[in-house]
Amino acid sequence: MRPMIHTPFAGSLLTVLLFAGTTHAADSTPAARKLARDAVIVDTHIDAPTELMKEWRDLSVAQPREFDFPKARAGGLDVAFMSIYTSPGQDDDGKAYEIANRMIDAVEKLANENPDKFALLRTPRDVEALRLLGLVLLPLGMENGAPIGGDLAKLKYFHGRGVRYITLAHSANNRIADSSYAAEKKWKGLSPFGREVVAEMNRLGMIIDVSHLSDDAVAQAVDLSRTPVMATHSAFRHFTPGFERNLSDELAKAIAAKGGVIQIPFGNAFVDPASAAKTQAYFVAYAEYERARSAGRTTQTVAEFDAEWDRDHPPLPVKIDAVLDQIDYGVKLVGIDHIGIGSDFDGVSGALPEGLRTVADYPNLIAGLQARGYSDADIRRILGENALRVWRRVEAYAAERQAAPATKRD
């Protein structure tokens, strides 16, 4: 969300509170922990690579982070999409391509140095065999299409490096699409280049991620895509009126009608109305700060601005019920086959609900769903089967299209 980090509230005090008060899998029920072990859990958005770029840590052992191997095993996590995030500022500076490659290098290093714990994942066909080895599987998702610049050929390059979805834009309009956070929309949806990006991603077998996009861009991406799309970490605007970053009911239904999935994030700003309002206020204040800095009315640095904001706007307490309510609402709105999870762990600076503080805590979510009457079969769909179905369909479409005679290709 922020220009260089994902959300407000990144202070050290919050980090202390996060790991001092973490609810662990052991606090859930035996039935929930059993299902967490048995089910395939797919989390479509974890920002560990951003943290690795700040400071390299061996995530094969316990770390003061929301994602590492011991916590993942405790929580039953099987497939953890690593977010290759670049900011609008890095796009403006021409550094996004380089930084994306360095992030991919970091994930590869993590897997290569710990082959008994992690494995890179390029296709859903390999999930069952690899999870039997007790590995945490690491596919890649690119958050913000900035690294491809204006070069369609870079899509094939990044697909070759293992990127399996692209969030078309992030917190600012880019060459591809308008952002939900942008006060003024440049393209009124997708750009002409963005329309080409959608078609090429379909051809290559890359999932189109509509999180962070403006309403018009979401609608156009869903309409243009020949495959189901995914909102890898988006909640429902029903709970956060006026917060365009979350999906309207109309857009959620359009995604589902195309066979896609909405992956519910855990961050307070997505699931809690008061926290969402504070996030919106941050962006308004930041825009004013940028105008003042450009006009020479302030010498305050971005870090100083953020530190002042964090001090004056501490995170609000939010309970796990906020996430459960989102899932309930989504299931009633679009059906059990179109809801999943995309936590945004390591990307929301610790502003997370009680009971969902790290990847060890999926059993708490499962226990909550069981308490609300969901069957284990339905919970399995939410935990990962729905996301894998979309991934398989996107991959199959690409294979079908590439195998078809040229005259029959669309």
| Residue 406 pLDDT | 65
Q: Is the dihedral of CA 100, 102, 106, 109 positive or negative?
A: positive
**Confidence (pTM):** 0.91
Buried-state track 101-128, b at ≥16 Cβ within 10 A, e below 16: eebbebbbebbeebeebbbbbbebeebe
* Residues 382/386/47/255 CA torsion (nearest 10 deg): -110
| The pair of three-digit structure tokens given for residue 356, joined into one six-digit string | 């969902």
Give the per-residue pLDDT at 403.
86
Domain range list for the chain: 12-273+318-400
The reported pLDDT for the residue numbered 298 is 94
Alpha-helical regions (H) of 161-272: 192-204, 215-224, 249-257, 268-271
- The per-residue pLDDT for 409 is 54
**Amino acid 408: pLDDT:** 57
Q: Which regions of the chain are under pLDDT 70? A: 1-26, 406-410
The confidence score (pLDDT) of residue 294 equals 83
Q: Residue 151 and residue 143: Cα distance in Å, rounded?
A: 17
Q: What is the pLDDT of residues 106-162, one digit of tens each?
A: 999 999 999 999 999 999 999 999 999 999 999 999 999 999 999 999 999 999 999
CATH of the structural domain 12-273+318-400, one choice from 1.20.1050.10, 3.40.50.1110, 3.20.20.140, 1.10.3720.10: 3.20.20.140
- What is the structure's pLDDT at 282? 86
| 167 beta partners | 143, 209
- Roughly how many angstroms between the first and final C-alpha of the chain, as a whole number? 36
